[in-house]
Amino acid sequence: MDNKAASKAASIMYQHLHQGSVLEGLKGNLRPQSRDEGYQIQARLEEAIDSQRQGWKIAATSIAGQKHIGLGGPIAGRILANMMVNPGQPIPFGANRMRVAEAEFVFCMGADLLPRPNLYETAEVMAGVASLHLGLEFPDSRFADFVRAGEGQLIADNACGYKFMMGEAVSDIWRDMTLSSHAVRGRVTGSDGQLRAEYTGSGGNVLDCPTIALTWLVNELSSQNISLRAGEFVTTGTSTLPMAILPGDQIEADFGALGRISCQLSG
């Protein structure tokens, strides 16, 4: 895909993102035919949004997440400043059509990991991690039928990025934990104050372990000649089934000894 087509495709995606509208699909030579072309459009979309990149997200790291958007494996997306919501502030529900919340392990980097020909191993990736945080992601898509949009288009759609909340760094006790078996519980309370649903899961739902997911992301970026920089974070994907949400709901994710994160959705 040439740069002109990628920029035009990104412009279309940006227009629908800005308006809260959806499209059936990118047409003709604007439709990405590969992961690489999807990432090419995604990079142009970041330029169009013109908001500082804070970190990265991984979509579809769990079987449930893959089924939710019709993928067979993970994809990466950008978290920009205008997507971030601080703890204590309401999450704008807006025109969100996916209507799910995801409880996630989030790693903040303390060292740059640069592109290279050979794959990074988990041990060296984890040596570059400064801190662990708890996160709540609220994905959405610009495609009317996101389950059938396909891998390339969903990457172009910034891996269904919409809103994201990240808590403060948790205690360093996490470094001595087995995150793959660490339990996570999600709760959704309706605007009437009644508990509507509970969800249970663990770090094992995130590509078998959040540390493995982080390593996948580093190598995915490396394959695109992109560095993961110190100060950036990576939110690794949902640890429970995607939690069904409605406007006005309160969402809580309980990570046991690591703490909790919660938010209120706008009505």
Q: Which residue has the higher pLDDT, 143 or 65?
A: 143
Helix locations, the chain, DSSP H: 3-19, 35-49, 63-69, 122-127, 151-156, 210-223
The residues spanned by each domain of the chain are 3-264
Distance CA 244, CA 263 (A): 14
Distance CA 187, CA 197 (A): 6
Q: What is the pLDDT of residue 250?
A: 98
The answer to whether the beta carbons of residues 57 and 233 sit under 8 Å apart is: no
CA distance 156 to 5: 12
pLDDT tier at 48, thresholds 50, 70, 90: very high
Contact (CB, 8 A) for 261 and 132 = no
| C-alpha distances out from residue 142 to 13, 14, 26, Å | 7, 9, 11
CATH superfamily of 3-264: Fumarylacetoacetase-like, C-terminal domain (3.90.850.10)
Radius of gyration of the chain (CA): 17
Average pLDDT of the segment spanning 213-241: 98
Tokens of 87: 């703890």
